[in-house]
Structure 1
Amino acid sequence: MDLKTIGDRIEISDLLTRYAHAVDTKDWALYRTVFTPDAQIDYSATGGPSGPLEEVVDKLTPMLDLFTRTQHFVSNIAVDLDGDGARVRAMFFNPMVVADAHDGAAAKQFFCGGWYNHELVRTTDGWRSRRLIEESAWFDGLAEAFS
């Protein structure tokens, strides 16, 4: 593996880390830096929004306000580099805590896992995702968390 390939893979790994951090901290300005301005994002497999970047941010913001804590673990990153483009498939594991009930009930937690499928492009600002499709594998505790 040559140094350019190693550098690209490190930058792509950093991009996925930035994505997870942005979602977990609800930092939508940082989230936008993961994507090209014309990116298409599809979270429909997990019940989330699908569409252009800004539309998804507008819909995702109130959805994630339902959770007091989220933590995205991204691993098993498969990168297929092709010049200034790349396809990336990465696993995610995501525990989420539903906001505490106002009646004094304890917060409820659920877990989900799946894959992020990115189409990346090299830009003057580094690697960016022009398309993200989230693929769901499983949920645990979802019904109980929202009952």
Structure 2
Amino acid sequence: MDVQRISDELEINALLNTYARAVDTKDWALYRSVFTDDAHIDYSSAGAMAGSRDEVAELLSRSFAAIPMTMHYITNIECEIDGDHAHVRAMFYNPMHLPGMSELSYCGGYYHHDLLRTPHGWRSRNLREENVWFINSPKAKASEGKTAP
């Protein structure tokens, strides 16, 4: 492994850490800085939104205002780097306290980032979340309270 590859992987790891900190601290300017101006972000596998960086950041800022706590852990980062482009697959684990829930909820899965090296460092041009599992989902709790007709 050469020095450039090591440097790229360290920078990409730092970018994913910044992403997690931005979401968990609800710092939407920092969140935007992780992405290119024309980025597309897709959280639809979790039943959430997909759209441009600014559309998603605005929706997150409104919806996360009601969420008291999230804590993203991003691990097992795999990078396929080709010059100034990279594809990254990373696992996530996210405990969170959702509104109206007495206990913590948890979800996990994969982040798939297409990255571009910019004059400001690596930035995500496309993020697709692949939500694999969810424990203590508000949707599951809501359906528990319903009775059959």
The two structures share one fold, judged by TM-score above 0.5: yes
Quote how far apart the aligned CAs of 1:61 are: 1.3
One of 104, 108, 121 as aligned partner of 2:103: 108
* 2:61 alignment partner in structure 1: 61
Moved over 2 A (4+): 143-147
TM-score (norm 2): 0.90
Overall identity of the aligned pairs, in %: 49
CA distance change for structure 1 residues 23 and 145 in 2, over 3 Å: closer, same or farther?
farther
CA distance change for structure 1 residues 143 and 66 in 2, over 3 Å: closer, same or farther?
same
Unpaired runs of at least 5, structure 2: 143-149
Q: Once structures 1 and 2 are overlaid, which stretch shifts more, 132-141 or 60-69?
A: 60-69
* 1:44 alignment partner in structure 2: 44
Quote how far apart the aligned CAs of 1:62 are: 1.6
C-alpha offsets along residues 28-75 of structure 1, whole Å, 9 cap, x if unaligned? 010011000000000010011101111111111122122100000000
* 2:84 alignment partner in structure 1: 84
CA distance change for structure 1 residues 11 and 78 in 2, over 3 Å: closer, same or farther?
same
C-alpha offsets along residues 78-97 of structure 1, whole Å, 9 cap, x if unaligned? 00000000000000000010
CA distance change for structure 1 residues 43 and 4 in 2, over 3 Å: closer, same or farther?
same
Quote how far apart the aligned CAs of 1:146 are: 5.8
Quote how far apart the aligned CAs of 1:107 are: 3.7
TM-score (norm 1): 0.91
Matched, 1:137 2:110: no
Q: In structure 2, the residue corresponding to 1:116 is in which secondary structure?
A: strand
Q: How many residues align?
A: 142
C-alpha offsets along residues 91-130 of structure 1, whole Å, 9 cap, x if unaligned? 000001024x5xxxx7431000000000000000000000
Matched, 1:27 2:27: yes
Matched, 1:73 2:73: yes
* 1:117 alignment partner in structure 2: 112
* 1:93 alignment partner in structure 2: 93
Q: C-alpha root-mean-square deviation of aligned residues, in Å?
A: 1.5
Separation of aligned partners in 2, 1:44 and 1:62: 17
Unpaired runs of at least 5, structure 1: none
